[in-house]
């Protein structure tokens, strides 16, 4: 994987993480947090899709890696909702 491919992957993960945070309605941090949420969302979403037997939707191939856009957003929403519920002040 070249540096350009890695930067493109980081950009797409940040975009997916930002969309996930917007849908969930809970946003903490800036672009770095969005990138992390996008990568965690991709892992969580891919895991959910494989356990539910659902296909990978809208994947982007960067180099030799596939990045699942839709499942990344769905996973990011799920992750942000859980983090939001756990970190709310009582």
49-87 pLDDT tens trace: 989 999 888 888 988 888 889 999 999 999 999 988 888
Confidence category of residue 90, pLDDT binned at 50, 70, 90: low
Confidence category of residue 3, pLDDT binned at 50, 70, 90: very high
Task: Give the three-state DSSP class for 64.
Answer: coil
Task: Give the three-state DSSP class for 80.
Answer: helix
- Global confidence as pTM: 0.85
Return d(Cα 21, Cα 37) in angstroms, integer.
8
Q: How far is CA 38 from CA 13, 54, 80, 89, 90, in A?
A: 4, 20, 10, 25, 28
| Closest of 29, 37, 44 to residue 80, by C-alpha | 37
Task: Give the three-state DSSP class for 71.
Answer: helix
């Amino acid at each position: 994987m070249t540096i350009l491919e890695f930067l493109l992957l980081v950009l797409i993960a940040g975009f997916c993480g930002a969309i996930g945070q917007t849908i969930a309605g809970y946003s903490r941090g800036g672009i770095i947090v969005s990138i992390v949420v996008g990568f965690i969302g991709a892992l969580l979403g891919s895991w959910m899709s494989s356990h539910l037997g659902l296909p990978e939707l809208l994947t982007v191939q960067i180099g030799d890696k596939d990045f699942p856009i839709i499942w990344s957003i769905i996973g990011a929403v799920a992750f942000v909702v859980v983090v939001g519920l756990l970190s709310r002040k009582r």
